[in-house]
Amino acid sequence: MQSLQEKASAWSGVDQADAFAIDEFNLFEKLGLQSFINLSTNFYTRVYDDEEEWFRSMFANSKKEDAIQNQYEFFVQRMGGPPLYSQRKGHPALIGRHRPFPVTHEAAERWLQHMQNAIDESVDIDQDSKVKMMNFFRHTAFFLVAGNELKNQNQNQNQNNQVACKHAANKPAEEE
Amino acid sequence: MQSLQEKASAWSGVDQADAFAIDEFNLFEKLGLQSFINLSTNFYTRVYDDEEEWFRSMFANSKKEDAIQNQYEFFVQRMGGPPLYSQRKGHPALIGRHRPFPVTHEAAERWLQHMQNAIDESVDIDQDSKVKMMNFFRHTAFFLVAGNELKNQNQNQNQNNQVACKHAANKPAEEE
């Protein structure tokens, strides 16, 4: 069976080394806190205004300002800055915390399109950092698609049970 | 509903601030790579020799040397050192990667007892660091118990479906 990270690389087209090239130097020290706040604010402004209801609705249970803070605190922590996210919320646990959301291939691509647009508009982030960050985001988005499929294996199991159940329930009636 | 980290704090008795006191200074720089390798080697020697088959068998599908490497690379990365784990395996994704294992309260306590014994035997780690690390381990172990319960919600759903299924299958027979 392919591992999570093998699936992430295959689906994203970004190999492990390129995905984690964000660690080659300290992006937080290079870019500063405000760049991350600006990026996440731009990103979530796009997400919360998305014309596609199926995508926008995944975020409907969170306040926009909370979504922004969760995201930039994670980015800061992961890209060499202080562990703001863990101090407030604990382990990132990316797959566990995305469990409530249907992270499909289509959802990953739409998330990435909004992030690409937000990155393109950023005046705080140099070109080389933009490339490294997008590779990280792309690999990570599909890592979460792989994580989502683990969950769906359980749900399929549920559905199979329900189908089996229907058959079992119908069977005696059919035999009569 | 209690969040993952609220459950982790309640069950472990370690609050968020104490759990992440490992971030107050750079433990990797203080202790060095070999301390982490020694700790994980001691820990997994205990685990693979555990007299309790139910616990030991959870690790039976991994080679001991792989388990040691996965663990010390994660500890090094999380405690201020180079991102060895992500370079080789991607995101830690603690809950997602523990998904195959039944991380019960009992399993968490047994894991922690082996780790306490390994920490107690460590001659490379000063007392203050030992306390910080055990608080982090204890909180994290119960964070994973909380993550495991998410998975069990699905399995319970499966079992409920199967019970409902049995009733549905039996019902027509009972009515005959």
Residues near A90 by beta carbon (within 8 Å), at least 6 away in sequence: B4, B5, B8, B16, B19, B20, B139, B143
More confident residue, A141 or A162: A141
pLDDT in tens, B37-93: 999 999 999 999 999 999 999 999 999 999 999 999 999 999 999 999 999 999 999
Q: Tell me the shortest Cα–Cα distance from A51 to chain B, in angstroms.
A: 31
Q: Which residue of B has its CA nearest to A157?
A: B158
Cβ-contact B40, B71 below 8 angstroms = yes
Cβ-contact B158, B166 below 8 angstroms = no
Q: Give me the residue from A20, A86, A162 closest to B87, CB to CB.
A: A20
AA letter at B122: S
Name which of B28, B119, B123, B34 is nearest B80 in CA terms: B28
Per DSSP, B98 falls in state T
What is the pLDDT at residue B158?
A: 52
Q: Which ipTM was obtained for this model?
A: 0.86
Q: How far is CA A111 from CA A89, B38, B85, in A?
A: 23, 42, 26
Residues of B in contact with A16 (CB under 8 A): 87-88, 90
Percent of chain A with pLDDT over 70: 86
Verdict on whether the full-model pTM lies above 0.90: no
Please count the residue pairs, one from chain A and one from chain B, whose beta carbons lie less than 8 angstroms apart. Answer: 128
Q: How far is CA B64 from CA B59, B68, B70, B97, B110, in A?
A: 8, 6, 10, 17, 18
Residues of A in contact with B147 (CB under 8 A): 93, 96
d(CA A56, CA A49): 7
pLDDT in tens, B17-48: 999 999 999 999 999 999 999 999 999 999 99
More confident residue, A173 or A165: A165
In this predicted structure, the answer to whether residue A33 has a pLDDT above a threshold of 60 is yes
Residues of A in contact with B164 (CB under 8 A): 165
Q: Give me the residue from B90, B143, B155 closest to A143, CB to CB.
A: B90
Tokens encoding B18:
């104490």
Tokens encoding A2:
């392919």
- Residue A51: how many CB atoms within 10 A of its CB? 6
SS3 at position A63: coil
What is the pLDDT at residue B151?
A: 82
In this predicted structure, the answer to whether residue B147 has a pLDDT above a threshold of 90 is yes
